Amino acid sequence: MPDPGRPVTTHDLLRMKAQHHPIVMLTCYDALFARLLDGAGVDALLVGDSVNQVLAGAESTLSATLDQMIYHTRMVRRGAQRAMVVCDLPFLTYQVSREDAIRNAGRAMAETGCHAVKLEGGVPIAPTVRALVDVGIPVMGHIGLTPQSVHALGGYRVQGRDDVTAQRLKNDAKALEEAGAFAVVLELVPAPLAGEITASLTIPTIGIGAGPSCDGQVLVLHDMLGLNDRFSAKFVKQYASLADAVREAVAAFSREVREGRYPDAAHAFER
């Protein structure tokens, strides 16, 4: 396990895979939650472009901007002391050219203090991963269901169910490892296939909807806490029902204000 007295590094994640210590990662978008998650012992915080849906109310991640990701990653970095902070690179910030990728990833690292960036894609994007790694930017990969390619994939569907696409995902994972990625997210991949990919790599896999054989797991924080109660998926386990708690608290506050019971003497100042 990583030393609790210092920040988690890419080398720690590699050791955790080798020693069979599961990696815990959650999405995070602000300093308050970063502090809470960091204090709870989470190993890595992913500032996902899912912020565009979860907090900004967009239909997909596609309209997320680099400025948006930098803003949220900077906040998360302020709240995290131990956990590794990974910034998602949004759509079209790394696909156009390797020069663009280096410039945008470098800006994200410099302006936020994050420890790594994450980008989507396999074999086609591997040269870009290599270019980033070669200039000293740690890269986490992401294959399977890649939300930035949701329209090309025909929607939010499990990937790799047939032999052709399963082999493609295996090739993608190996290409990312060879390009220098320090970890790879597997999203919506059949559990047996995710197990095969995990066993074939020396770098850790972090699953989301990819079964128990991955080296770690990640969920969207607001889904896991039951805050985003309009979203449900087979792979999401809710560990709390905070949407209900919020509604109940606000209803109680509203009732006391309207009845003149808040603020009372205990919550007011004397001369």
Q: Which residues are catalytic?
A: 187
Asked if 80 contacts 38 with a C-beta cutoff of 8 angstroms, the reply is yes
**Rounded to 5 degrees, what are φ and ψ at 140?**
-100, 130
- Single out the residue of 191, 237, 182, 198 nearest to residue 26, CA to CA: 237
Beta strands of 2-43 (E only): which ranges? 23-27
Determine which helix (DSSP H) or strand (DSSP E) holds 149, and give its type and residue range. none
DSSP percent split of the chain into helix, strand, coil, nearest 5: 45, 15, 45
Determine which helix (DSSP H) or strand (DSSP E) holds 116, and give its type and residue range. strand 116-118
Q: Is 26 helix (H, G, I), strand (E, B) or coil?
A: strand
What would the two tokens of residue 219 be?
A: 């969920």
Give the torsion through C-alpha atoms of 49, 15, 138, 142, to 10 deg: -40
What would the two tokens of residue 44 be?
A: 């890595």
- What is the residue-wise DSSP string for 98-149? HHHHHHHHHHHHHHH--SEEE--BSGGGHHHHHHHHHTT--EEEEEES-GGG
DSSP state of 267: G
For residues 200 and 136, give the distance between their C-alpha atoms in angstroms, rounded to a whole number.
25
- For helices 98-112 and 66-79, the axis angle rounded to 10 degrees is 30
Asked if 47 contacts 86 with a C-beta cutoff of 8 angstroms, the reply is yes
